[in-house]
A and B are shown apart, each in its own frame.
Chain A
């Protein structure tokens, strides 16, 4: 009996582009994972900053292996991934937050037919914050529900 696991075949990716894409994604997921922690916490930790720098560097290196034609096909702000010798931790953070989720979202589907891709991080879709309705002044409700001695009928004798 055939196994239940199926991989969708994605045509049109050369072996070189496929290898480069997987290398970009493998490094991007480390950057993305770090970017999900609070900025202060990550940038205050030397190891995390080093990890961020190394993985972004590896992402860049792998991205350079992509053919120009393939780079054109992907909607990623490549210019923001260019190497910068004076890169500050804040700049690394911008790459982690602004560029990397885009890299994952755009490039992951390209290799969805490879077993390695099954374990790559999928970026969470952006959620737009719910609009707060401003309170009308002077009309605050008494918060008695559920309180002992309040108007909750379960507390009546």
Chain B
């Protein structure tokens, strides 16, 4: 089980992430925007999922500020968006999840990132 922080300004999306991830046995921390997300980074998530193109556009800002936090430079991050985004590496993320997606696609990405980060940590 992992602790996963989800940042998305769409209520339906947050509910969807929660449903998928809790069924998988993960603990989910929800945030509606980048500022709230940064505050919840204190809860020590193992993985972060952030909507890059939220209405206030602060998904990019969240990533930039997250990477500047000591000890958070390598926390796995999945960015999600319904729009085409540029180089994910530049944005500071590990993976990109295009909306719309299926639950199984999200689970596969989360499993992959969690197992590789655990592999790196051990």
How many interface residues does A have (CB within 8 Å)?
17
Shortest A145–chain B CB gap in Å is 41
A45 to B104 alpha-carbon distance, docked (Å): 9
Contact among A29, A50, A119 with B19 in the assembled complex (CB-CB below 8 Å): A50
Q: How does the 8 Å CB contact mask read for B89-105 relative to A, with 1 for contact and 0 for none? A: 00000000001111110
Which residues from chain B contact A29 at a C-beta distance below 8 Å? 82, 100
Given A47-B19, A54-B16, A119:B102 Cβ within 8 A: no
Q: Among A33, A48, A119, A121, point to the contact of B84 (Cβ < 8 A).
A: A119
Chain B residues, Cβ within 8 Å of A121: 100
In whole Å, how far is A55's beta carbon from the nearest beta carbon of chain B?
8
Q: Determine whether the beta carbon of A30 is less than 8 Å from that of B100.
A: yes
- Determine which of B83, B101, B104 lies in contact with A119 in the assembled complex, contact meaning CB atoms within 8 Å: B83
Chain A residues near B12 (CB, 8 Å)?
A: 54-55, 58
In the bound complex, do residue A45 and residue B83 qualify as a contact, i.e. CB atoms below 8 Å apart? no
Q: Is B23 an interface residue (CB 8 A)?
A: yes
- Bound complex: CA A119 to CA B104 (Å): 23
A43-83 CB contact bits vs B (8 Å, 1 = yes)?
A: 00101101100110010000000000000000000000000
B19 and A34 within 8 A (CB)? no
Neighbouring B residues of A34 by C-beta, 8 Å: 100, 102
Please provide the chain A residues from 93 to 145 with a CB less than 8 Å away from any CB of chain B in the complex.
118-119, 121
Which residue from B82, B83, B99, B102 sits with its C-beta under 8 Å from A48?
B102
Contact of A47 among B20, B82, B100 (CB under 8 A): B20
Distance of A118 from chain B, by nearest CB (Å): 8
Given A34-B102, A45-B104, A119-B82, 17 new contacts (CB under 8 A)? A26-B82, A29-B82, A30-B99, A30-B100, A33-B100, A33-B102, A47-B19, A47-B20, A47-B102, A48-B102, A50-B19, A51-B103, A54-B16, A55-B12, A58-B12, A118-B83, A121-B100
A-B contact pairs, 29 of them (CB 8 A): A26-B82, A29-B100, A30-B99, A30-B100, A33-B101, A33-B102, A34-B100, A34-B102, A37-B102, A45-B102, A45-B103, A45-B104, A47-B19, A47-B20, A47-B23, A47-B102, A47-B103, A47-B104, A48-B102, A48-B103, A50-B19, A51-B16, A51-B102, A54-B12, A54-B16, A55-B12, A119-B83, A119-B84, A121-B100
